[in-house]
Amino acid sequence: MRSTIAEISIDNLKHNLSMLRKNSDNAEVMGIIKADAYGHGLVQIASFLRKENVKILGVAFADEAVALRKSGDNGEIFVTIPGTEYDTELYCAYNIQSSVEDINIVRKLSEEAHSRNMKVKTHLFINTGMNRDGIDPKNALEFMEQCKSLEGIDMIGILTHFASSELEDKSFALNQLEIFNETVTLLNENGYHFKYIHTANSGAIANLPESKFNLVRAGISLYGYMDYEYLASKLNLKPILTLKSKVININKIESGDNVGYSLNFISEKQSKIAVVPLGYGDGYHRTLSNKAECLINGKRYGLVGTICMDQCLVDVGNDDVHIGDEVIFIGNQGNESIKCYELAEKIGTIPYEITTALKWRVPRIYI
């Protein structure tokens, strides 16, 4: 096996789940495991969550749900992005719950389900201000009236998605919630009731107690992160990912020597360069070149030169660093720690993108 690995702490995953459950009042926690469980491994994270009695898992696309089914998962699976007509067979064949926003697709789903002598479970997506997924709330009643005659459909859920639940200013999110509440009330008054009512993503679990209803959709928080570190601390979350490798070579350089491609780092001093087999081909962003740091023997060192596809280069000065020494890119070593926030901030992104970028080539080890 490569010396570069992503170690995933199942203890921390369990801890995060219990923190999320504690903060979700009596709502069920849906584990959002799209995009390969945000880089942590779809099938493995799913199976650990099921062992912890997570009743419903969420993915973005039908194909992800099918991959889960093929891995042997028999539980409830919800697809967050409203499906296309091409997915209708998959939803029925694999008993997958989909969100819906297009009555023509709901009709197709119904026909497909009816031909299989079954009912397919769906959730009505209401657009309350994100302007990405869902129907205009004004059309919700008419939509449900149209669904009434569709024999293959079992509309078990209603949802919306927040555009800014992570922000301190809650006004936009509260307005979304108000629109959602009004819509659900109107539908209830007209005899439409839903088993699952869900709006909260991770930010809302931390910030919007009013948004939890009876199901919350927890993604990034399961993995120990949030958009902002103070929000993760509020929920006492622990990162579950450690990205580590080992030094595989050491080159001595003199002042004025180049390090790596394109002459992007010319050393100003005599030094030693540790070579580590992690690169952008593993999902470690090239834009971190000359910016990121790593930990070796409990000390921080800067990455220098351009990050290559398969390797990167670390200036270890004249320190006692040897081939085989452990290198931490994300995680803890001694008293030092590097979190995804630090990397994200350096390249103007969010922790989501740091973990999700990790490629299949990095073996995931679950401990």
Ligand X SMILES: Cc1ncc(COP(=O)(O)O)c(C=O)c1O
Segment interacting with ligand X, rule: CB under 6 A, options 18-26, 40-48, 200-208, 287-295: 200-208
For residues 69 to 108, the per-residue mask of contacts with ligand X, x marking binding by CB under 6 A and - elsewhere, is -----------x----------------------------
In b/e form, how buried is each residue of 259-285, taking b as 16+ CB within 10 angstroms? bbeeeebebeeebbbbbbbbbbebbbb
d(CA 360, CA 355): 12
Which lies closer to ligand X via its Cβ, residue 217 or residue 285? 217
Measured over the CA atoms of residue 30, residue 36, residue 43 and residue 155, the dihedral's sign is positive
| Measured CA angle at 41 (ends 40, 45), to 5 deg | 90
Asked if 217 touches ligand X (CB under 6 A), the answer is yes
Shortest distance, CB of residue 161 to ligand X, whole angstroms? 4
Catalytically active residues are 34, 261
Q: How far is CA 338 from the centre of its chain?
A: 19
Which residue of 8, 77, 208, 218 would you call a contact of ligand X, by CB under 6 A? 218
Shortest distance, CB of residue 300 to ligand X, whole angstroms? 29
Residue type, 34: K
Cβ-proximal residue to ligand X, closest one: 219
Segment interacting with ligand X, rule: CB under 6 A, options 138-146, 199-207, 306-314, 318-326: 199-207
Shortest distance, CB of residue 217 to ligand X, whole angstroms? 4
The residues, any chain, with a CB within 8 Å of residue 235's CB and separated by 6 or more, are 16, 19, 20, 23, 205, 206, 221, 226
Which lies closer to ligand X via its Cβ, residue 59 or residue 274? 59
d(CA 141, CA 136): 10
Asked if 128 touches ligand X (CB under 6 A), the answer is no
Segment interacting with ligand X, rule: CB under 6 A, options 141-149, 196-204, 235-243, 297-305: 196-204
Q: Which tokens hold the place of 367?
A: 């401990």
Asked if 201 touches ligand X (CB under 6 A), the answer is yes
Name which of 198, 137, 197 is nearest 162 in CA terms.
198
Q: CB burial class (10 A; 0-12, 13-18, 19+) of residue 191?
A: exposed
Q: Which tokens hold the place of 62?
A: 């039908």
The residues, any chain, with a CB within 8 Å of residue 86's CB and separated by 6 or more, are none
Q: Which of residues 146-185 bind ligand X (CB under 6 A)?
A: 161
Asked if 240 touches ligand X (CB under 6 A), the answer is no
Tell me the site size for ligand X, rule CB under 6 A: 11
Shortest distance, CB of residue 356 to ligand X, whole angstroms? 10
Which lies closer to ligand X via its Cβ, residue 134 or residue 305? 134
State the angle between helix axes of 171-189 and 140-148 in degrees (0 to 180), rounded to the nearest 10.
40
The residues, any chain, with a CB within 8 Å of residue 93's CB and separated by 6 or more, are 116
Which residue of 59, 124, 197, 220 would you call a contact of ligand X, by CB under 6 A? 220
Which residue of 16, 98, 202, 355 would you call a contact of ligand X, by CB under 6 A? 202
Which residue of 41, 134, 152, 219 would you call a contact of ligand X, by CB under 6 A? 219
Which lies closer to ligand X via its Cβ, residue 57 or residue 147? 57
Shortest distance, CB of residue 63 to ligand X, whole angstroms? 16
Name which of 144, 124, 120 is nearest 134 in CA terms.
124
Q: Which of residues 10-39 bind ligand X (CB under 6 A)?
A: 32
Q: Which residues bind ligand X (CB under 6 A)?
A: 32, 80, 161, 201-203, 217-221
